[in-house]
A = this chain, B = another copy of it.
C-alpha cells in the first residue's frame, strides 16, 4: 500500500458513514473498524472529525460540481440536458456518495454555517449560468426566465432522484420531462 492509499481509503469509508449516519452519528471508531486500521491512524492523516467532513465537502464535492458544470456545452438543448442528467446514473459510487453528502449540506441537513454559505454562493450562480447557456437557443418571448427557472427546478428533482434516492432514471423519462418544460421555446 502506497503513501496516501490509506488516507484515501479512510475518506471513502468516512463518506459512507457520513451518508448513512450523519455527522453526529458517525464515529471515528467505526470508521477505523471498517478501514481495518487502528483508531489513531485517522488522526495521523486528519486533524479531527470536522476537518475530514470539511475536506469532503470543500474539496471533493465542489470539484465534482465544477467538473459537471464544465461539461455544460450545448448542441441540441433537449439532447444536451437529457445527457447531462442521464450520465449521473453512471457516476462512480464514491462520486455519488460525495454528491449525496453535498446535497445534504446544501439542504442544511448536515454540516455547519460555513459550509452552508459556500452552498448559497454556488446556488446563486446556477440560474444565471443556465440562462446564459440557453439564451441563444430560446426563441420564445416574455417568459424565458421562468422557463429556465422551471427547467433548473426540474433538473434538481431529477438529480435528487438519482443521487439522493439512488434510483436509476431511464433516458426517455428524462427526455420527456425536459421536453415538456422546453416545449415551444426551443
Partner-B contacts on A (CB < 8 A): 21-25, 104, 107-110, 143, 146-147, 149-150, 153-154, 156-158, 160, 164-165, 173, 176-177, 180-181, 183-184
Contacts and interface: CB of A to CB of B under 8 A. Distances in A.
A162 to B, nearest CB: 12
29 contacts: A21-B24, A22-B22, A22-B23, A22-B24, A22-B109, A25-B25, A107-B107, A107-B109, A107-B160, A107-B164, A108-B165, A109-B109, A109-B110, A143-B176, A146-B173, A146-B177, A146-B180, A149-B173, A149-B176, A150-B154, A150-B176, A150-B181, A153-B154, A154-B154, A154-B157, A156-B157, A156-B160, A180-B181, A183-B183
Given A146-B173, A150-B181, A181-B150, A110 B158 contact: no
A124 to B, nearest CB: 13
Contacts of A25: 22-25
- Which of A107, A150, A181, A184 lies at the interface centre, i.e. has the most chain B CB atoms within 10 A of its CB? A150
Contacts of A176: 143, 146, 149-150
A59 to B, nearest CB: 22
Nearest to A172: B146
A25 B25 CA distance: 7
